Chains A and B, each alone.
Chain A
């Protein structure tokens, strides 16, 4: 047994590499003079690149490792890559942001790496305990990142709010894990599934456990009615972190939710399906309808991210492979558009994150056409206009929903996406159809931000016009997935 553990270490090379580099950045940061500390960004990017190599090296693996603690399969590899993309974009986007806002670059980038470790572990977990540990690693890193602007009251509020509600949701989740353990005497997902299938577990307890787990994950991914923290936190957070929060933890949360529900509790999940359905509908409606009246763009994007959680929940509700593949496609492409949009918001907000209102975008369309065009593409993609990845993602989700005979869910979904068009267009209206104020000051660009925006635009168009490669990959990733 001891020997086999060592042999299994390559399976977690990605996480090891990220952790080692995270620690290296922290160490280096202490010894480097202040002027050279931005090297952390380069190291973090190198770490992510190396991790990507390790992760791709795992392609083809299929099995559980470390006494069934983690599972390496197409699903987890796809997600790990998604998280690395999210991480790379976040690192890039925050490097200039951290300089502008005078934040500690080293700690910032190291924490982003640790957050990726947490997400990776969640995606690869085959164990409720491992899931919890991954989630906590991610959460603690997020708490700090949210509050990293220590002198900013809003940032503090965001961190505190997320911390309190995050701990609260963790408690729900632990309660659910404890009950699941109580009913099945195991925390291994597959073993739980076997126990339940064998009929040796107390079903009432399982139902409650699944309910509690759903509540716990519901907080993390911000589905109604567990969404109330989202707008405040996204608004107050440093903008690149708002971007990160809206895509990374959300993708990880959904991925784990799907795995837990479909591997461990398929029968109990069927019982809860009505509530998942209701939650999806409410999430879409609340997110979209409240977003209609927002004047702060960060809050608007926060509500939009709630609405998108609703669409993803539709994919979760379908319970078929097509739906899971759509979820994988959607989370990756959603990450591109949302990080892109938030990056532009962060640029436009100028120093101190002051200009985050809709009116601050007046005239941007003709003052800085490139920037405005990119933001328009992100918004149109969020709205689901064809030829963008956002449309392809929604297309796959609604296709899966119809395939599972969720006709009403699909209808409500598409109507919601029509509602959402209104508030995304509002930004475009302000950018192109209102005149710039007289005291217009140009938006300062940085090469790293331009890189983020360019990569996101390219990704959105690539996956929007030719989604075949990515969706085929996503589909093959979920083959054999129970």
Chain B
């Protein structure tokens, strides 16, 4: 494996975007093929990471480092560990799926659409592989721009409102994070923005953060990540963005973008600010639990399927945050696993909703009913995905939720119990919507003539369904790769906390 593999994976889509920039705008199908080809090539390049990843090494792998802005100690430093490996793979899997899903539904400004899709992929992968704070921040922000355009140009009725809201929310959080990054850099002697180096000097005792500094730096980082997650009560941008975004945008948004927040918490907040993490854990866990219940309750009363799925994301991401702040092995494992699950299941749900929308141009639950009859394949896949989202054993959702609850139970029983009731609520809204849409007689005559999924649509859903089963039945193949890195995060966390106490 060449040592610049991550760079290649990261910038290949951007290269594709550059190619599209100079491609004549008339050849719509050629443009789609190029975009699809580039994203598939990226996927192909990224797949060998999985077997090549050394399970016994908890540290960074496939690292590449080069000077970028030497006068400030900024480096181009990328690498992945067990935490980011799967997020990179999730991104490379979901992007071709998303592009394929919009094969028919995007008919205007095709070139720009695919250009932004590919740029978005570069941004997302970049966030997960960046190990230099500056580089991380650059990817974190730059990724907003293509997403903003995807929502704003190809979105629904209130797309402009949603796009701007999305951009501003994220921006406010991230500028504070920027200041925290600069502060961390200055406190560390103004020599490097390199995350492993800063972490190292923290462990060596060269960089000592006072409790006050930890407190504020943690908050600045956490605020940026919490908006992205989104943690209740910072979640209000999410339903708007999801509902207005085109299907592929929603898939990527739910599948990958939300994970950046939780990824950031695990990657930066926990190891860098262990004391502050402990300090805020009760408060954050409370917000996470409130988010779980609130998201589920609001999802239950939605009339629009897409909005329902959007609110279910708030609930599911609450689980992830709860798992992280259980601050133990099971919780963190579960959180990492649930991040992937959510990406796959919710991504699939958005795809299904999008397919319904393509057929009927509505997403209101009342408009549907009895779809099992005209759309058998659709209904079957919908069933699998809904059950995965609920957390049925044998499917992926179960593993994650179970581990999270296990960890949470260890950390705080009350929260665990309340969160567990969230699982029931999720079963309620998911099954209820399934029942209203799929079961019974065909209530609306217009639904009778609907065509079932075509080959392309099946192809879109197939990888996700395969992953749902694989991750549910043989979770070991994934958990084993995460294990080392997750343990290391916790070990760092505990040892730093001990050092602090002395």
Contact = CB atoms under 8 A, between A and B. Distances in A.
In this complex, the interface size class of chain B, counting residues with CB under 8 Å from chain A, is: 20 to 34
B71 A432 contact: no
A414 B71 contact: no
Contacts of B68: 466, 468
A132 interface: no
Contact of A411 (B142, B148, B176): B176
B71 A418 contact: no
B182 A399 contact: yes
A366 B25 CA distance: 11
Contact of A466 (B69, B137, B152, B168): B69
A403 B163 contact: no
B71 A475 contact: yes
B142 A415 contact: no
Contacts of B462: none
A181 interface: no
Contacts of A226: none
B381 interface: no
Contacts of B137: 386
Contacts, number: 82
B175 A386 contact: no
A446 interface: no
B141 A386 contact: yes
Interface string B56-89: 0000000000001111100000000000000000
Nearest to B111: A369
B160 A471 contact: no
User: Interface centre among B70, B167, B175, B186, by most A CB within 10 Å?
Assistant: B175
A164 B279 CA distance: 59
Given A402-B179, A414-B175, A433 B159 contact: yes
A421 B142 contact: no
B178 interface: yes
B141 A385 contact: yes
B197 interface: no
A410 B179 contact: yes
A468 B145 contact: no
Contacts of A399: 72, 182, 185-186
Interface in B112-143: 112, 137-138, 141-142
B175 A402 contact: no
B179 A411 contact: yes
B176 A422 contact: no
B171 interface: yes
A421 B167 contact: yes
A362 interface: no
Contacts of B72: 399, 468, 471
B311 interface: no
B183 interface: yes
A386 B133 CA distance: 13
Given A429-B163, A433-B152, A467-B69, A386 B186 contact: no
Contacts of B138: 386-387
B179 A398 contact: yes
Contacts of A121: none
A118 B280 CA distance: 57
A417 interface: yes
B160 A429 contact: yes
Given A385-B141, A385-B142, A402 B149 contact: no
B164 interface: yes
A425 interface: yes
B69 A468 contact: yes
Contact of A422 (B112, B168, B182): B168
B168 A472 contact: no
Interface in A160-217: none
Per DSSP, are chain A's interface residues mostly helix, strand or loop, or mixed? helix
A398 to B, nearest CB: 6
Given A385-B141, A398-B179, A471 B164 contact: no
B427 interface: no
A415 B70 contact: no
Contacts of B148: 425
A363 B186 CA distance: 45
A116 interface: no
B278 interface: no
Contacts of A425: 148, 164, 167
Interface string A418-437: 10011001100100110000
B482 to A, nearest CB: 30
A148 to B, nearest CB: 38
Given A433-B160, A471-B72, A380 B145 contact: yes
A429 B164 contact: yes
Contacts of B71: 468, 471-472, 475
Contacts of B171: 418, 421
Interface string A388-413: 00010001001100110001001100
Contacts of B163: 429, 433
A248 B153 CA distance: 36
B456 interface: no
Interface string B281-313: 000000000000000000000000000000000
Interface in A450-482: 466-468, 471-472, 475
B142 A395 contact: no
B179 A387 contact: no
B450 interface: no
Interface of A: 366, 369, 380, 385-387, 391, 395, 398-399, 402-403, 407, 410-411, 414-415, 417-418, 421-422, 425-426, 429, 432-433, 466-468, 471-472, 475
9 contacts: A380-B145, A386-B141, A387-B138, A402-B183, A402-B186, A403-B190, A407-B183, A411-B176, A471-B72
Given A386-B142, A425-B167, A466-B68, 4 more contacts: A385-B142, A399-B72, A425-B164, A468-B70
